[in-house]
Structure 1
Amino acid sequence: MPRAAWRRTGADLPWGDPLPSHRSLMEGYLWRFTDPVRHRVLEVACGVSHQHGRAWGTVVVAASPLSLVRSTTLDDAWAGTDRFAIEAAPALSFVRDRTGASGVRDRLRVSLDDAELEVALFPGTRRRTLLPGAGVFSLLPGLNHYWHPYLFEARAEGAARLGDEHWDLAGCQVYAEKSWGRGFPPAWWWGQAQDFDRPDVRVAFAGGLLGRGRATVPVNGLVLCLGGRRLDLFPPAAIVRGGVRADHWRLTATGPRHRVRVSGQGADSPLLRLPIPALTPHHLGYSEQHLAGTVRLEVTRDGKPLYAGTSRLASLERGRAPRSP
């Protein structure tokens, strides 16, 4: 099977690059900016959906502590299949440029009502991996959802205008991910946290119903960055259990040497309804998310404490797949 046809199943090949479009029914992109000094968070999300040969897009901007949410849907959205680039004019554009032999620069621009952003991101050292995305699941065709947290560290240069406020994004901690597949899982939960007492600590975690038909099962995964090292904990290499109940997110991931415990709660952070695309063009559902919740992180290695800390600028989300009319 040609590579392009294989990627349209949702799967990647070993040593593959999940960032260019798979031409799945849904391709989703998220950028998150955490400002620990000013205690604020900015999220930008873009979905490029393909249905019956037609592409359309969804763009969302959310910010805390403003409780600001802006969104729109657009015709003729586009995501590159041979390069990492997205266009949802006139609301959003993104492109990854080469800056040298091994360096890259990501340029993100957003113009959505009274929310505007223009930023350049210079990612840190990138590593090539045998298994892209969420481990072995990225190699399996036909799953309903794939998740790839790809950026945990980048230098940001740029600014955002959010209502009457102007935010300088220089110095923000940056996170970015891509997801794709046949739509959102029937139910899912997700979290991402920076702003710990050490700048080299970042974590992203997610869970949901993964598979197809009767083969759908709950699957959880976690990616931890600690001390300059990235640790991916996904089944079958790790035992990962978790879920969300009564505004509390909990996860335990046990690998060959490491054990990671995450507990999160919304605390005093407002619960926002963020639009998510249904499969029918221009129809939306909603997830529920705290942009500045609290996450407690505990890490052991070989049974000995390695790190423990708390972030109070964590995004915590739960949702269900939207129904198309």
Structure 2
Amino acid sequence: MPQNTSPLPTPHSGYHWNRIPRRFFEGWYYRVTLPEIGQTFAFMYSIEDPQGGQPTSGGVAQILGIDDEYLCRTFPDPNRFWAAPDRLALGHWRQSGKPQLLDPQAFDRTISEGYQATETWHQGRLKEPNGNFAEWQYAIAPVYGWGDRQSTAGLLSSLQIFEPGWQILMAHGHATGYINWNDKNYEFVNAPAYSEKNWGGAFPSKWFWLNCNAFDNEPDLALTAGGGRRGVLWWTESVAMVGIHYRGQFYEFVPWNAEVNWVIRPWGYWRMDARNRQYRVTVTGTTDLPGTPLRAPTIDGMQFVCRDTMRGNVTVELWDQAERLIVRATSDLCGLETGGAPWDETWASGCGLNF
């Protein structure tokens, strides 16, 4: 049966660093989509080796903005990063002083460059030396967390067995506020919003991702799907999942309850088919756009090892066990990504149970 959903906080919302000196990163992803203009803003924050003193120590803030344009700033001092261990709250800036959550007006008045984010608020400003600039402030009203407040990767997310951990924090929500992108202001009310995070001591060697909650004529539909080759203790495995929130229900296809298959080209085509005992889903993503290279954590620090577009095409089709169509929906505002290596040929594989 589909699972009831709840807007309450998801697991793993807090900061995972346990202060043990080892290779470590944590990353957060916030996104707002503006369907009326066909654009999306994706904000990516990361902290690496927060104990300091390492070549990789420090933070990075990246934004994928209008027409997949890219803005990036580094924050080399990890001591000016903060995050709450028990809830979703984080920030990083250049100013001296105690890093902590500030009143929005105080942040606006005193922080010349940086960001702060929680489950219900997100603001910041960044400026590159070439003059590219972004400033944003918006409130977030969560609609769907992830299932009934569950871990995206199941029980294993709670144990340091595989790396990295991955958690969808908010599969769907509504954002109200503004984003100024290179001196053009975009105001929005109840725009589709999304957030996720990952953490650990390693990144998958190869991965793919699809995400959309701005479907044509289906305002209560949210898709997150992806897969990768990850480390588990002393071996590696290829895993993938599809998660759909639709009209108050959660449809989950993961290796321990479903069969998941995928065919992913190095760029331009994503196809996933999954089934469990009650449902079947097909997800197809395509793009003719070139995508934008983004930085992601590697053993050697942040490197351009993935490619994204926020303007991909996607079709989702979900059936029940009697082959009755539950929903068929399309969008041209889907986030599509491939990352890692090698991507010199199509990746066709599968995982999970056999039905």
Show structure 1 runs of 5+ residues with no match.
Answer: 1-14, 97-104
Cα offset, 1:53, TM superposition: 4.8
1:117 corresponds to which residue? 136
1:61 corresponds to which residue? 63
Indicate how the Cα distance of structure 1 residues 125 and 249 shifts in structure 2: closer, same or farther if over 3 A, else same.
closer
Cα offset, 1:19, TM superposition: 0.8
Which deviations, in whole Å up to 9, do the C-alpha atoms of 1:246-274 show, x marking residues without a partner? Answer: 5211111212211111011113x341111
Indicate how the Cα distance of structure 1 residues 295 and 20 shifts in structure 2: closer, same or farther if over 3 A, else same.
same
Cα offset, 1:319, TM superposition: 0.7
Cα offset, 1:150, TM superposition: 2.1
The answer to whether the Cα contact below 8 Å between 1:189 and 1:243 also exists between their aligned partners in 2 is no
1:81 corresponds to which residue? 85
Cα offset, 1:115, TM superposition: 1.1
Instruction: In structure 1, give the amino acid aligned to 2:86.
Output: D
1:107 matched to 2:116: no
The answer to whether the Cα contact below 8 Å between 1:94 and 1:109 also exists between their aligned partners in 2 is yes
- Find the residue that maps to 2:165 and give its secondary structure: strand
Q: Which moved more, 1:204-213 or 1:29-38?
A: 204-213
Indicate how the Cα distance of structure 1 residues 270 and 238 shifts in structure 2: closer, same or farther if over 3 A, else same.
same
Which residue of the other structure, out of 282, 286, 296, is the alignment partner of 1:265? 286
Indicate how the Cα distance of structure 1 residues 135 and 212 shifts in structure 2: closer, same or farther if over 3 A, else same.
closer
1:199 corresponds to which residue? 219
Q: Map 1:212-227 to 2 at 5 A.
A: 212=232, 215-227=235-247
1:308 matched to 2:312: no
2:206 corresponds to which residue? 187
Q: Distance in 1 between the 2:291 and 2:308 partners?
A: 6
The answer to whether the Cα contact below 8 Å between 1:109 and 1:117 also exists between their aligned partners in 2 is yes
- Find the residue that maps to 2:162 and give its secondary structure: coil
The answer to whether the Cα contact below 8 Å between 1:107 and 1:121 also exists between their aligned partners in 2 is yes
1:250 matched to 2:271: yes
- Find the residue that maps to 1:136 and give its secondary structure: helix
- Find the residue that maps to 2:156 and give its secondary structure: helix
1:71 corresponds to which residue? 72
Q: Distance in 2 between the 1:280 and 1:79 partners?
A: 23
Indicate how the Cα distance of structure 1 residues 141 and 243 shifts in structure 2: closer, same or farther if over 3 A, else same.
farther
The answer to whether the Cα contact below 8 Å between 2:145 and 2:171 also exists between their aligned partners in 1 is no
Q: Distance in 2 between the 1:127 and 1:179 partners?
A: 14
- Find the residue that maps to 2:120 and give its secondary structure: strand
1:232 corresponds to which residue? 252
1:159 corresponds to which residue? 178
The answer to whether the Cα contact below 8 Å between 2:163 and 2:200 also exists between their aligned partners in 1 is yes
Q: Distance in 2 between the 1:273 and 1:95 partners?
A: 24
The answer to whether the Cα contact below 8 Å between 1:159 and 1:166 also exists between their aligned partners in 2 is yes
Which deviations, in whole Å up to 9, do the C-alpha atoms of 1:175-234 show, x marking residues without a partner? Answer: 111111223200111110122121011101110012236520100011101122122221
1:43 corresponds to which residue? 42
Cα RMSD, aligned residues only = 2.4
Instruction: In structure 1, give the amino acid aligned to 2:62.
Output: V
> Taking structure 2 as the reference length, what is the TM-score of the superposition?
0.77
The answer to whether the Cα contact below 8 Å between 1:57 and 1:73 also exists between their aligned partners in 2 is yes
Q: Map 1:137-148 to 2 at 5 A.
A: 137-148=156-167
The answer to whether the Cα contact below 8 Å between 1:42 and 1:63 also exists between their aligned partners in 2 is yes
Q: Which moved more, 1:165-174 or 1:288-297?
A: 165-174
Q: Distance in 2 between the 1:173 and 1:181 partners?
A: 28
Cα offset, 1:144, TM superposition: 1.6
Q: Which moved more, 1:234-243 or 1:182-191?
A: 234-243
Q: Which moved more, 1:133-142 or 1:305-314?
A: 133-142
Q: Distance in 2 between the 1:111 and 1:133 partners?
A: 30
1:320 matched to 2:340: yes
The answer to whether the Cα contact below 8 Å between 1:27 and 1:47 also exists between their aligned partners in 2 is yes
- Find the residue that maps to 1:17 and give its secondary structure: coil
The answer to whether the Cα contact below 8 Å between 1:23 and 1:50 also exists between their aligned partners in 2 is no
> Taking structure 1 as the reference length, what is the TM-score of the superposition?
0.83
2:347 corresponds to which residue? none
1:17 matched to 2:14: no
Instruction: In structure 2, give the amino acid aligned to 1:262.
Output: V
The answer to whether the Cα contact below 8 Å between 1:207 and 1:243 also exists between their aligned partners in 2 is no
The answer to whether the Cα contact below 8 Å between 2:117 and 2:123 also exists between their aligned partners in 1 is no
Indicate how the Cα distance of structure 1 residues 312 and 20 shifts in structure 2: closer, same or farther if over 3 A, else same.
same
Q: Distance in 1 between the 2:333 and 2:84 partners?
A: 32
- Find the residue that maps to 1:314 and give its secondary structure: strand
The answer to whether the Cα contact below 8 Å between 2:10 and 2:145 also exists between their aligned partners in 1 is no
2:105 corresponds to which residue? none
The sequence identity of aligned pairs, in percent, is 24
Which residue of the other structure, out of 108, 116, 120, is the alignment partner of 1:94? 116
The answer to whether the Cα contact below 8 Å between 1:119 and 1:159 also exists between their aligned partners in 2 is yes
The answer to whether the Cα contact below 8 Å between 1:278 and 1:285 also exists between their aligned partners in 2 is no
Q: Distance in 1 between the 2:52 and 2:126 partners?
A: 26
